Amino acid sequence: MSAGGLASGKSDGEWLRVHPATPFVRGWVALAAIAYFFGRDSFERMLQGQPLIDDRIAGRAPLLLGGGALMLVLAVVSFILSWYYTRYQVAGGYVRVNTGFLFKQQRQARLDRVQAIDIVQPLLARIFGLAELKFEVADAGESAVRLAYLRIDDARQLRATILARASGVRLDPAQPEAAAPEAPEQQVLQVPPPRLIGSLLLSEQSVFVVLGAAASVLLSALTENRAFFLYLIPAVLGLVAAYWSSFNKGYNFTAAISPDGIRLRYGLLDTQAQTLPPGRIQALKVAQPPLWRLFGWYRMQVNAAGYGAGANNGEAGARTTLLPVGTWDDVLNMLALVLPDPGTADPLRVFRQGVNGLDSDAGFVTTPRRARLLAPLGWRRNAFTATDTALLMRSGRWWRQLVVVPHQRTQSIALQQGPLARRFGVADLVLHTTAGPVAPRVIQADVREAQALFDAQAARARAARRRQTSEQWLAQVAPGLGEPPRQPTETQEQPAQAPQQEGQQRG
């Protein structure tokens, strides 16, 4: 059976194998380690013009070569067995992956719970025309299913089929289990490399390194001790590594829209094609560091189920980035994809005030003036407003940010009030969504307004969840393109419950 069963017309439900080269692409490091361990001394002796085998161990050479050959054979056999016992199946509304020879494991994911699906190509896999398929499901702490490796065309075909069934696209009624063609796409934006490089040079890391360098020069001049420059070496090395990682992951970043969802592509050495259904985004943040204001640049990040568990590592950080650096027009384009119905008659004014505004323009409710001592610079920025479809929270005078949470994505709500906040009559309201880089929080709102927002947001979230009668995201974003909604039966999952209302937490 081939890896491209769906693409080649094989029946749905048949167990298929990944590409035969998979174990060697994944295990080349082990083969290189074996070759290095047994061949290092001989290689060094060859460079020095000496015999390849030391006379002192010449008698044991056959034994060493036999041991190396045995380890190589065992590694190759384990590779072959891992490939033979790795199979996948798409059937009955599930995708299943079986792995393991001695310790068997089966992982499965419901197609209607697929949150996002990625095609990843490490450098070696790109050379062989292979790709890894990852898909995230709700409540998954890590990738629920990973298929490595398939031929790139087969990976795209399988992704198209899974996303079509997950999103609710109506396929040919005569062949409901047939492979779906890859959906067309329309490019929305592309980040040019010069802008990406400029954003890195004007990033927060650069500011800290410049301040550290200035402090080192000053201390060296005052103390006549040049040792302070040594402290800059690890900082510079760390900065170079961070720059390279960000450039490698953000290079050639493009965003496109298709019936499958938002398609993101990026990467220099290791490329990744990510498909994120807009109806499954839990929260969104638009941020602007201080130096980026010179060029009007912004960054956008999202919370999505399955991505948050490793949000602190580079891979998860790239996967939760909706826009690494873009202009205001780029921000509006991406907002239109994530929140097609902003729920307000003047969305441009509301979002502009949310990102760059002050005070109570466009309906924002700010921190009361009596509490300005708690945030002397930010009290006019800290504010919130609600539209018919989402809650908007802005904060930060220097590092500006706007957080947008669709009402139906609010999982729970909490009021928090510390001793100083109680003294000034303000409180914070925290919205809980899936884990990720976005932390929705209304900062220092008047306590009465915070309590009113607590009740109103719970009611809005409850009503929005009642209207969400399908797990298929396309039926929520564009009902006319998906399957018509069906009445729930005893075997169907009931709509999600209203968000839990946590008690008012007093700290």
Averaged over 42-53, what is the pLDDT? 60
Q: What angle do CA 496, 336, 204 make, to 5 degrees?
A: 100
CA 407 to CA 339: how far, in whole Å? 11
Question: Is pLDDT larger for residue 497 or for residue 97?
Answer: 97
CA 91 to CA 85: how far, in whole Å? 19
CA 56 to CA 255: how far, in whole Å? 62
pLDDT of residue 482: 42
- In this predicted structure, the answer to whether residue 420 has a pLDDT above a threshold of 80 is yes
By CB atoms closer than 10 A (0-12, 13-18, 19+), residue 345 is exposed
Strand partners, 255: 189, 264
Helix 193-201 / helix 232-250 crossing angle, nearest 10 deg? 150
Averaged over 454-458, what is the pLDDT? 94
CB atoms within 10 A of CB 153: 13
- In this predicted structure, the answer to whether residue 109 has a pLDDT above a threshold of 90 is no
- In this predicted structure, the answer to whether residue 16 has a pLDDT above a threshold of 80 is yes
- In this predicted structure, the answer to whether residue 495 has a pLDDT above a threshold of 60 is no
Instruction: Write the CA distances from 325 to 167, 247, 278, 330, 335, integer angstroms.
Output: 29, 11, 19, 9, 14
Lowest-pLDDT choice from 43-52, 185-194, 400-409: 43-52
- In this predicted structure, the answer to whether residue 306 has a pLDDT above a threshold of 80 is no
CA 151 to CA 249: how far, in whole Å? 22
Averaged over 261-285, what is the pLDDT? 87
Lowest-pLDDT choice from 2-11, 18-27, 113-122: 2-11
Please, which residues have CB within 8 angstroms of residue 288's CB and are 6 or more apart in sequence?
297, 298, 299, 355, 356, 399, 400, 401
pLDDT of residue 270: 87
State how beta strands 412-417 and 426-432 pair. antiparallel
pLDDT of residue 2: 42
pLDDT of residue 227: 65
Lowest-pLDDT choice from 219-233, 419-433, 472-486: 472-486
Question: Is pLDDT larger for residue 388 or for residue 495?
Answer: 388
Helix 204-223 / helix 232-250 crossing angle, nearest 10 deg? 170
Lowest-pLDDT choice from 87-96, 108-117, 228-237: 228-237
Band (pLDDT 50/70/90 cuts) for residue 491 is: very low
pLDDT of residue 81: 84
237-261: pLDDT as tens digits:
777 888 888 898 899 999 998 877 8
pTM of the model: 0.76
pLDDT of residue 8: 44
Band (pLDDT 50/70/90 cuts) for residue 488 is: very low
Classify residue 313 by its DSSP letter.
S
- In this predicted structure, the answer to whether residue 10 has a pLDDT above a threshold of 80 is no
Ranked by mean pLDDT, the top range of 25-29, 43-47, 302-306, 376-380 is: 376-380
Band (pLDDT 50/70/90 cuts) for residue 485 is: very low
Instruction: Write the CA distances from 143 to 127, 224, 252, integer angstroms.
Output: 24, 54, 25
CA nearest 5: which of 78, 82, 95?
95
pLDDT of residue 110: 79
- In this predicted structure, the answer to whether residue 140 has a pLDDT above a threshold of 80 is no
CA 478 to CA 467: how far, in whole Å? 13
